[in-house]
Amino acid sequence: MHVLLIALLAGIGFIVAYHTYGRWLGRKVFRLSAEAVCPSEKLRDDVDYVPSKTSIVFGHHFTSIAATGPIVGPAIAVIWGWLPALLWVLLGSIFIGAVHDMGSLVVSLRNRGQSVGDIAGRVLNSRVRLLFFAVLFLALTIIIAIFGLVIAAVFRQYPAAIFPCLVQIPIAIGVGIWLHRRGVNLVVPSAIALFLMYLAVFFGNANVDFPFLGWEAGTWGLGAINQWFATWPTIVWVAVLLVYSYIASVIPVWVLLQPRDYINALQLVSALGLVMLGLVAAAVFGGAPLDGESARQPLALSAPAVQWNPAGAPLIFPFLFITIACGAISGFHCLVSSGTSSKQLKKETDAQVVGYGAMLTEAFLATLVILACVAGLGLGITTAGGVVLTGAEAWEARYASWGAAGGLAATVGAFVDGSANFLAALGVPLAAATALMGVFVASFAATTLDTATRLQRYVIQELAAALGGRRAGRGASPAAAGAVLQSTGFPPFDWMGNRYVATLVAVLVAGAMASLPGPGAESWTLATAGGGGLILWPMFGAVNQLMGGLAFLVIAFWLWRRGRPIFFIVIPLVFMLIMPAWAMVWQIFVQAPGQETSWLQDGNWILLSIGLLTIALQIWMMVEAIRLFPRVKGVVEEQTWKVGSPAEAASK
């Protein structure tokens, strides 16, 4: 019962935090006003700036920030024990992650829906803007390059997830067109979409037997089609997904991005509810009987509370705080908050629901992931040799060492198997439960890929504007257009202000990186291509968390210039600048996780040079911030639009 108690107390803690700390931030610090005019209304273009219902924006935001991060990170970090991982998720999300997400969203709302990187140029200075853009561009390139590989790997591991993920696209387009009609209630399309999605999960791997045609079950049908898709080389999936991401990133958000994320959110939140019900059933009645047995396995924590020195694992400090990003705090969230979500909010007061609330929902997901890995696995797993393990033996089989636990297949598999055991306790067939959880993971990954591509487009447009494009170009977002202050007359910057060209640049750069063979491959072949994103992936954790620290820097300066309190943000700011830098320095000079040597000792000049450059950029930005800080208290930066209503004036 103590496993269930952990989940219940965590859920109650998140609810209390939302209604206390989150409300205080919204009312007293950021001074959210329902009367303020949001960028979605003021700059409405029905492409990027689209005023939308709270539930739709929440669905987009939640599925975009969550991705596989709150699954993979916690599923690896429990190797240090369930207690450190759980504490970091609980405290980190409430006092750091949710503040970061909400703050990034509000600051963007007050600045034409622009990204925190562009806003840094006004609240700090133009040099910081360019340095910040360099970090954002690098991080998003890695994300786009790697997520094709991630999705392909999940599809190979769980082929039953392929058809449900593909069929989401036409369902989403249908729902998007339906909802775009004014006055349509969300209930009916939501119910239909959710029903179709669960039909796709439970029947999307079926085979058909047509003996009169010479086809036997297993040779034709969706199951066979899924298996065929699962044999595609990684580079083919990467190419297909990048083409899809290009299209999804240039069409209006209401056509595909919003409805896809919305129905994904419905599916994922309902799946979370099923996992929670399964956890309750497992706690009260025990897990489903294992093959050949009638007794139900009792639910218990199978992992140690704390394990300071797991085999092959790096130091818990700082790497716990780099390994678990999504679920506690992730710098990528500032891009979603200030990139897409701020352009869709209809009311400023929705920022608490979307910014603070979605982060806590993600943290609850991370809590369930932890419990699935440290308790759900103990209900029974079957090894490759056909041996059934339970309790501590099951956990140790997956977490014998950092190498055994750290791979994508191992971490995703630990969550899928553990959560499927929870669903099996409800009476759901284990195969169906596994397929459902596989779709859960793949859907999260897919939504992040197209959102990241759109975000990279915004970054490129804003960067082109910051470098002095003559104009934003046709198809440019109003934010990018408004950011151009001066002309250089240099055409490439003008071209990159166009959303089609900027998206093409984003896709081609990420595709070029992804097309390289992954680490360890001796030569380029169709089989080895597609893993190029793994070349820079070892540094992504630190770069991602560094983005979080830099976003806090922008939020702090925005508040400081308005004479508002920043005491609550100082510790998160310092913490999120120190931890990534510590992790980066450790990997460069001491030891990289999963290896016996550092990047310097290994002669990994790519990671070494980019790592050193990233640290230099961070130091440079910190020097700029320290020099500027004493001089700007109460000095409001130049506004990006004229203040209208009294409520809007107060919000500035």
Rounded distance between C-alpha atoms, residue 145 and residue 63, angstroms = 19
**Contact assessment for residue 49 and residue 126, using Cβ atoms and an 8 Å cutoff:** no
Distance set, CA 5 to CA 2, 74, 270 (Å)? 5, 19, 21
Average pLDDT, the chain: 88
Number of Cβ within 10 Å of residue 652's Cβ equals: 12
pLDDT digit string, tens, across residues 608-647: 999 999 999 999 999 999 999 999 999 998 775 544 433 4
* CB-facing half-sphere around the CA of 113: CA atoms within 13 A: 31
Rounded distance between C-alpha atoms, residue 345 and residue 51, angstroms = 6
Residues 6+ apart with CB under 8 A from 167: 196, 197, 200, 204
Q: In the structure, what pLDDT confidence band is assigned to residue 23 with cuts at 50, 70 and 90? A: very high
> For position 208, what pLDDT does the model report?
62
Rounded distance between C-alpha atoms, residue 518 and residue 149, angstroms = 10
Helix, strand, or coil here: 183? coil
**Contact assessment for residue 342 and residue 368, using Cβ atoms and an 8 Å cutoff:** no
Residue 479 has pLDDT above 70, yes or no: no
Picking from 397, 401, 439, the residue whose alpha carbon sits closest to that of residue 414 is: 397
Residue 650 has pLDDT above 50, yes or no: no
Rounded distance between C-alpha atoms, residue 189 and residue 617, angstroms = 48
Least confident of 126-130, 278-282, 544-548, 574-578: 126-130
Residues 6+ apart with CB under 8 A from 419: 275, 278, 368, 369, 372, 376, 433, 437
Average pLDDT of span 133-161: 89
Cα angle 60, 65, 68; round to 5: 115
Residue 178 has pLDDT above 80, yes or no: yes
Class of residue 387 by CB neighbours under 10 A (exposed 0-12, middle 13-18, buried 19+): exposed
In which element (H, E) is residue 415 found? helix 408-424
Rounded distance between C-alpha atoms, residue 580 and residue 16, angstroms = 30
Picking from 426, 415, 378, 414, the residue whose alpha carbon sits closest to that of residue 277 is: 426
Rounded distance between C-alpha atoms, residue 134 and residue 111, angstroms = 20
Least confident of 43-52, 57-66, 295-304, 527-536: 527-536
Instruction: List alpha helices for 181-256, DSSP H.
Output: 187-203, 222-230, 234-250
Rounded distance between C-alpha atoms, residue 176 and residue 428, angstroms = 31
Distance set, CA 469 to CA 369, 484, 491, 530 (Å)? 46, 7, 7, 34
Rounded distance between C-alpha atoms, residue 425 and residue 5, angstroms = 17
Residues 6+ apart with CB under 8 A from 318: 578, 579, 580, 582, 583, 586
**Contact assessment for residue 405 and residue 76, using Cβ atoms and an 8 Å cutoff:** yes
Class of residue 296 by CB neighbours under 10 A (exposed 0-12, middle 13-18, buried 19+): middle
Q: Which residue range is the domain that position 468 belongs to?
A: 2-208+215-651
DSSP 526-572: TTTBT-THHHHGGGHHHHHHHHHHHHHHHHHHHHHHTT---HHHHHH
Residue 416 has pLDDT above 80, yes or no: yes
Class of residue 185 by CB neighbours under 10 A (exposed 0-12, middle 13-18, buried 19+): exposed
In whole angstroms, what separates CA 46 from the centre of its chain? 25
DSSP bridge pairs for 215 = 210
> For position 646, what pLDDT does the model report?
38
> For position 485, what pLDDT does the model report?
38
> For position 483, what pLDDT does the model report?
45
Q: In the structure, what pLDDT confidence band is assigned to residue 268 with cuts at 50, 70 and 90? A: confident
**Contact assessment for residue 544 and residue 69, using Cβ atoms and an 8 Å cutoff:** no
* CB-facing half-sphere around the CA of 197: CA atoms within 13 A: 28
pLDDT digit string, tens, across residues 313-370: 999 999 999 999 999 999 999 999 999 999 999 999 999 999 999 999 999 999 999 9
First-to-final CA distance of the chain: 49
Question: Is the N-terminal amide bond of 318 cis, ω within 30° of 0?
Answer: yes
φ, ψ for residue 225 (rounded to 5)? -65, -40
- Strands 388-389, 381-382: pairing is antiparallel
**Contact assessment for residue 302 and residue 392, using Cβ atoms and an 8 Å cutoff:** yes
> For position 3, what pLDDT does the model report?
95
Q: In the structure, what pLDDT confidence band is assigned to residue 491 with cuts at 50, 70 and 90? A: low
φ, ψ for residue 389 (rounded to 5)? -115, 145
In which element (H, E) is residue 382 found? strand 381-382
Helix, strand, or coil here: 517? strand
For residue 412, which amino acid is it? V
Average pLDDT of span 516-544: 88
Residues 6+ apart with CB under 8 A from 519: 531, 534, 535
Q: pTM higher than 0.85, yes or no?
A: yes
Q: In the structure, what pLDDT confidence band is assigned to residue 473 with cuts at 50, 70 and 90? A: very low
What's the domain count of the chain?
1
Residue 47 has pLDDT above 60, yes or no: yes
Tokens at 399, concatenated: 């977490």
pLDDT digit string, tens, across residues 233-251: 999 999 999 999 999 999 9
